[in-house]
């Protein structure tokens, strides 16, 4: 009986070590894998080249480097120029210390601001990386804005209808 317990403990020790190794390998695989995550349908649009550059991840590196998510091969753009990230508040723009800088609607983004306080992006804003201009397009936000405008117009027209009924003689 004592030999059986000793053998069982020895086998269990190797089985648990194998399971721990398998869990570590699975975790490393998921960390190393660059999965595409399409949180929304946002993209950058260049009026000059007519390119539509999708933002396919929650954090999109923009620059000349082939490792960037949005590759822009222009001499005025740094290897790692900026980051466009989706946060709880919405899309945010961060300059990563590029030489020429990043502008939002013509205003240079302040590099002294901490990264967590990037510049908030809204549908239709102009982003300038170096000398290249791109329009930020967020169709989801655009649809939400249109819905809010439609609801606001419906509310106003219902209020005007009530006022007309109140003015009628009884």
The full DSSP string for 35-90 is -----S--EEE-TTT--EEE--SSEEEEESSTTSSEE---TTS-TT-EEEEEETTE
- Give the pLDDT confidence score for residue 17 in this predicted structure: 92
- Give the pLDDT confidence score for residue 66 in this predicted structure: 95
Cβ contact 147:99 at 8 Å: no
Average pLDDT for runs of 10 along the chain of length 170? 85 91 88 62 87 90 95 93 87 90 88 61 90 88 67 68 60
Whole-model pTM?
A: 0.63
- Give the pLDDT confidence score for residue 84 in this predicted structure: 92
Tokens of 17: 């070590």
Residue 119, φ and ψ in degrees, nearest 5 = -85, 125
- Give the pLDDT confidence score for residue 56 in this predicted structure: 87
List the one residue out of 140, 142, 129 whose CA is nearest residue 80. 129
- Give the pLDDT confidence score for residue 78 in this predicted structure: 93
- Give the pLDDT confidence score for residue 82 in this predicted structure: 93
List the one residue out of 51, 42, 69 whose CA is nearest residue 133. 51
């Amino acid at each position: 009986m004592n030999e059986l317990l000793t053998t069982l403990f020895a086998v269990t020790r190797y089985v648990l070590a194998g399971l721990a190794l398998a869990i570590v390998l699975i975790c490393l695989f998921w960390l190393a894998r660059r999965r595409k995550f399409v949180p929304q349908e946002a993209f950058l649009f260049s009026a000059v080249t007519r390119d539509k550059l999708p933002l396919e991840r929650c954090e999109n590196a923009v620059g000349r480097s082939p490792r960037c998510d949005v590759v822009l091969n222009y001499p005025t753009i740094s290897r790692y120029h900026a980051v466009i990230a989706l946060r709880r508040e919405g899309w945010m723009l961060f300059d990563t210390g590029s030489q020429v800088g990043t502008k939002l609607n013509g205003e240079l983004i302040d590099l002294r601001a901490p990264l967590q306080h990037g510049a908030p992006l809204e549908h239709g804003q102009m982003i300038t990386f170096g000398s290249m201009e791109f329009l930020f397009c967020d169709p989801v936000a655009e649809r939400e804005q249109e819905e809010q405008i439609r609801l606001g117009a419906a509310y106003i027209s219902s209020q005007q209808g009530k006022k007309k009924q109140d003015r009628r003689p009884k």
